[in-house]
Amino acid sequence: MALFGKTKKTAPAVKKPGAPIEKEVAVSAMPAGSAHVLIHPRITEKATMHGAMGVYTFDVAESANKHQIAQAIRELYKVTPRMVRIVRIPSKIKLNSRTGKRGVKRGGKKAYIYLKKGDSITMNQTV
């Protein structure tokens, strides 16, 4: 059990001859793939209207920046974005009408992806 950053030391594992060699890769050394940057497409009435003009909307990770989002779009949809704009979604306090208790509706971050004329993205819910 790790309590306040202290961990119990264990003996190193014994490797069997002929077993495949496992590489240890740090999480921070892995490239930021599209699975960690793009959460899902934002399918709303406004986003659908913008889609006709070549602007697509996605919910993105809180830590994502414009360069990571553009790279994820290139990898996943094979199109190069002309411009990326990011908008913070503020958290909101909601009141439950039945119990009267307050709760917080999570905020987040969304990105508007602008494509060149003629390029398009087929939106599906599984990203």
57, part of any domain: yes
37, part of any domain: yes
122, part of any domain: no
Contact yes or no for 91/109 (Cβ under 8 A)? no
Q: Tell me the sheet residues that pair with 95.
A: 102
Domain count, the chain: 1
- The span from the CA of 114 to the CA of 126, in Å, is 21
Question: Where residue 13 falls among pLDDT bands split at 50, 70, 90?
Answer: low
- What CATH number is attached to the domain comprising 81? 3.30.70.330
Name the pTM for this structure: 0.65
Domain with 57, as residue range(s), is: 31-115
In this predicted structure, the answer to whether residue 30 has a pLDDT above a threshold of 50 is no
In this predicted structure, the answer to whether residue 97 has a pLDDT above a threshold of 50 is yes
72, part of any domain: yes
Contact yes or no for 115/121 (Cβ under 8 A)? yes
- The span from the CA of 22 to the CA of 30, in Å, is 16
Sign of CA dihedral 29, 42, 94, 88: positive
Task: Write down the residue that tokens 């390029």 correspond to.
Answer: 119
8, part of any domain: no
13, part of any domain: no
Dump pLDDT digits (tens) for 31-78. 445 568 999 999 999 999 998 899 999 999 999 999 999 999 999 999
